[in-house]
Amino acid sequence: MKSFTRHFGTALVTCAMLAGCSSNTPSTQTKNFIETPPSDTQIESSVRQQVSWMLEAFTPIAGQALPNKNVLEAYEFRGFDPIWIKETQLDMAIYKLVNTLESARSHGLNPVHYHLETLKEYLAIKKPSSQQLAELDVIATIALSSYAHDLSNGRYEPQLIDPNWRLDAPSKDWQNLLFLDSPTNMVNYLPTLAPRQPDYQVLQNWLVFYQETAQKEGDIRIEVGVPLRFGDEGPRVAQLRARLVQLGDIRFSSRKVNEDYFDNDIREALKRFQKRHHLASDGAAGTRTIQMLNVPLEERAKQIAYNLERWRWLPSQLEDNRVWVDLTDYTAHIFLNGQNESMKVVIGKPERRTNVFYGKMTYMVTNPTWRVPMRIARENLLPKLQKNPSYLTENGYQLYSSWSIGAKRLDPLSIKWKDIKPEDLHYRFEQAADEDNALGAYKFMFPNKFDIYLHDTPAKHLFREQDRAFSSGCIRLERPEDFADLLVAGDKKRQNQLAQARQSKQTKVISLKDELPVYLVYFTVVPNSNGMPEFRNDIYERDTLMEEAMGYAPFHTKESI
């Protein structure tokens, strides 16, 4: 401990001295020849001495801590040879690393987490000692490793941000970078670690657009006032037009127009803007539309950064066959055997949020009975029974003494429901398979600890609503019969089983030939069909949790912690 304290103190003194050494960073185009350099043996010896305590002194700042043993293993693999210094000269790749770290904000990451300013200060030293060179080598490797990890897997631990978020698929691909044969290859490998999904790449471009526009132009705001409509004139119309041009909804044109006149170009651009912000697309600038237009560019940049991080939590490669339940769009996309079907869904209400997670669908049940989950029984059924003891009988429920096999069936009217507290409720409630069953005619099972599944519903009218967060957590499908047909397509045996179950109206389990991956995902910004950013309602307030965790503005030119 005394040894580490002494070394850490030395590091602090060194950094303090470096801050006053020079404000000029060496050019990335000029090779840094070290005047009267230490020998290779001195540098290697210093690297061996510095690596362990430097790893502890320069652990990642905030977020998810990088397992530093990977850096240590990389040096052990090389016999503690320096990575960035060859024949007493700094490899040019270290300057490319600095440039790469400076561009971390284009991914919604913060360069301060990768010791960027510290690296620049070390590089500015004109006559570094063997210890300073060793420190520079180790810090550069830590920065490289930490950035590689964050670019591949995300900076933050999702479950620490949101307990209901259980979709995290960490990859170990980034670790391969540490064992490549040259620092140039290491730095060149970095871009391959970012998610390769088209949505990620489009959002990244839009993040850069919002960052640069915020810095160069600032926000064009529309003054608050009466709604603006087709045919209106005045300075507020000119502000509206300029804002729509700035946001990309109107393409800049060199042709002359009356800037103050609300023409058809503005009306059509407003409809596009409203549609991609989940507003009523009437082509008029009412109060809500103007509020959305006036959301600062910096705020939009943050929102995009949160969603880039969410993409990094997903697997680097998605399966060709999968179910993709887009919670914020209330839509299920089914990719199966080269076909792509989409249908509306109903998801959990805000007080009963649908979890974000991954599962594997293994079977479906036709004409299912419904065993009411205990939470729903306590929160929903018990209050209804206390008002109307006949509720179970009137709605096709059966009551059992417990959840055990062979539990005794009971008469609901024999229970004094008003005397039961929710925490003391222990009965099992089952709803028989019929047209009024809460699960409808189908349920599709991907076993998980949240007891969430896809199912039919008798409440078809809810699919006419634009915002469809009405369930107790499970996913209700608009067209479950079509989904069932897709699951058995091309399989005569299972097609016959499904047909027989439909005809008999009996409860039947039909296993799937192959497991089908199911993703329940949550994005508040996605590219629309035209490649424009679509900003969705944060129905579960998960962006607020992201902001609290990430705690920085990704558009600033100066680093902030």
Q: Which of 7, 113, 277, 474 is catalytic?
A: 474
pLDDT tens for 351-381 read: 999 999 999 999 999 999 988 988 889 998 9
Fold that domain 318-369+436-522 belongs to in CATH: L,D-transpeptidase catalytic domain-like (2.40.440)
Q: What is the mean pLDDT of the chain?
A: 87
Instruction: Examine the pLDDT at 16 and tell me if it is beyond 60.
Output: no
Instruction: Examine the pLDDT at 34 and tell me if it is beyond 50.
Output: no
DSSP tally for the chain: helices H, then strands E: 20, 17
**How far apart, in whole angstroms, are the C-alpha atoms of residue 440 and residue 374?**
20
Confidence at residue 441, expressed as pLDDT on a 0 to 100 scale = 94
Element (H, E) at 307: helix 297-312
Other C-beta atoms closer than 10 Å to the C-beta of 17 total 12
- Segment 307-321 shows an average pLDDT of 95
pTM for this model (two decimals): 0.85
Q: Grade residue 546 by pLDDT with cuts at 50, 70 and 90.
A: very high
Q: Which two tokens stand for residue 391?
A: 């509720």
For the chain, which residues make up each domain, given as ranges?
2-197, 200-300+538-550, 318-369+436-522, 370-432
pLDDT tens for 67-123 read: 577 888 899 999 888 999 887 789 999 999 999 999 999 999 999 989 999 999 999
Q: How far is CA 32 from CA 138, 423, 480, in A?
A: 18, 71, 66
Confidence at residue 418, expressed as pLDDT on a 0 to 100 scale = 93
Confidence at residue 172, expressed as pLDDT on a 0 to 100 scale = 87
Q: Grade residue 253 by pLDDT with cuts at 50, 70 and 90.
A: low
Confidence at residue 275, expressed as pLDDT on a 0 to 100 scale = 96
Confidence at residue 199, expressed as pLDDT on a 0 to 100 scale = 96
Confidence at residue 10, expressed as pLDDT on a 0 to 100 scale = 37
Percent of the chain whose pLDDT exceeds 90 = 70
Give the phi and the psi of residue 259 in degrees, each rounded to 5.
-60, -30
What is the signed CA dihedral for 410, 413, 415, 421, rounded to 10 degrees? 120
Any alpha helices (H) in 377-521, and if so which ranges? 382-387, 391-394, 480-488, 492-504
455 is catalytic: yes
User: From edge to edge, which strands make up the β-sheet containing 397-400?
Assistant: 370-371, 428-431, 397-400, 409-410
Q: Grade residue 435 by pLDDT with cuts at 50, 70 and 90.
A: confident
For the chain, first and last CA: distance in Å? 28
Q: Which two tokens stand for residue 400?
A: 């059992």
Comparing CA positions, the residue from 425, 441, 449 lying closest to residue 479 is: 441
| pLDDT top residue among 308 and 33 | 308
SS3 of 116, please? helix
- The answer to whether 200-300+538-550 and 318-369+436-522 have equal CATH topology is no
Residue 461 CB burial class (10 angstroms; 0-12, 13-18, ≥19): exposed
pLDDT tens for 494-529 read: 999 999 999 999 999 999 999 999 999 999 999 999
Other C-beta atoms closer than 10 Å to the C-beta of 100 total 21
Output the DSSP codes for 269-300: HHHHHHHTTTS---S-B-HHHHHHHTS-HHHH
Which residues on adjacent β-strands are paired with residue 348?
471
Give the phi and the psi of residue 414 in degrees, each rounded to 5.
-85, -5
Confidence at residue 550, expressed as pLDDT on a 0 to 100 scale = 85
Instruction: Examine the pLDDT at 257 and tell me if it is beyond 90.
Output: no
- Segment 48-55 shows an average pLDDT of 66
Comparing CA positions, the residue from 168, 161, 278 lying closest to residue 521 is: 168
Give yes or no for a contact between 452 and 355, defined as CB atoms under 8 angstroms apart: yes
Q: Which two tokens stand for residue 101?
A: 């770290």
Q: Grade residue 133 by pLDDT with cuts at 50, 70 and 90.
A: confident
Q: Which of 426, 455, 461, 556 is catalytic?
A: 455
**How far apart, in whole angstroms, are the C-alpha atoms of residue 132 and residue 138?**
10
**Domain 200-300+538-550: top CATH class:** mainly alpha
Instruction: Examine the pLDDT at 29 and tell me if it is beyond 90.
Output: no
- Number of residues in the chain: 561
